[in-house]
Structure 1
């Protein structure tokens, strides 16, 4: 026991590793939620850097593959930023019709799509290129830019 003038008992609280990881994940999720709330409707996505910064808030630090969409109005202001699909550590099923549905629900003029690579490999795969082409084709039917 440590000597202290108030006579308080000092002890160290030890958290199991799983609790700490879960707690940190909840904090990160809440921080992303707060950031999205503050940025939505006010943020203009004027260039790829702005889009990257917004999407990093949503995708950074997730152990599973996530596919996000940023829905923009005609002046490239953010209407919403949503995670539409979740996958495993190495893949995520993406459906262009769902992206189109959300774009129409948000009355979006444009959509930015992105997904993380939990493996850390940042090069787009052939599958990434193929689904991007399919999304572009689907959205073009509704005059929504990708």
Structure 2
């Protein structure tokens, strides 16, 4: 079933043109990409099923092509490719925004960028945003995976990557798959260890951001950096 099979008032395209994209629900925006449903299931139902399966947009953003292939109604490679392309465009658009100006000129963009990259991961990932002297993004790297402690995150590697990028500052980040963004004592200890190590090569730690689904916490705002 396609858009033409839906009642006029329920068609996402017409709603977008009349009210703007912000007026559309996640499933409606996704339906615009998918365009058609399948026998017995219209495109809006398929879109909602897709969001439910991957626990919302954050999970969908990290779904690989193989995972999408298992969804009935996305068997065609064209739909999967278009969906993957749009999701990657979202990540790159935010990256370009952070490269164009100081990251703290647009703190919301930093939060969204980290949400796109880290929030839906099923395991902990430690990353660093390497910044130039004007605090513009040079690169983001995922450096470590697994349970993050002082013994699993190696300060020497973080310093090496900062020197590689000629970074003047970094924003540290990691996710909490548990859903809570409250910093643990280990998070605080790790931050101070990395701050001291990077200070030896004149690289400032500006923040350590903790990410979970739908939430971020700035340790700098808590006075913990």
TM-score normalized by the length of structure 2: 0.49
Cα distance change of structure 1 residues 69 and 142 upon mapping to structure 2, 3 Å threshold? same
Matched, 1:77 2:136: yes
Shift of residue 60, structure 1, vs aligned partner? 1.8
2:220 counterpart residue number: none
Cα distance change of structure 1 residues 82 and 32 upon mapping to structure 2, 3 Å threshold? farther
Instruction: Give the 3-state SS of the residue equivalent to 1:84 in structure 2.
Output: strand
Shift of residue 50, structure 1, vs aligned partner? 3.7
More helix as a share of residues = 2
What is the alpha-carbon distance in structure 1 between the residues aligned to residue 84 and residue 184 of structure 2?
28
What is the alpha-carbon distance in structure 1 between the residues aligned to residue 84 and residue 192 of structure 2?
30
Larger RCO, structures 1/2 (Cα 8 Å, 6+ apart): 1
TM-score normalized by the length of structure 1: 0.73
Shift of residue 52, structure 1, vs aligned partner? 2.0
Instruction: Give the 3-state SS of the residue equivalent to 1:133 in structure 2.
Output: helix
1:42 counterpart residue number: 100
1:127 counterpart residue number: 186
Report the number of matched residues.
128
Instruction: Give the 3-state SS of the residue equivalent to 2:178 in structure 1.
Output: coil
Cα distance change of structure 1 residues 29 and 73 upon mapping to structure 2, 3 Å threshold? farther
Instruction: Give the 3-state SS of the residue equivalent to 2:103 in structure 1.
Output: coil
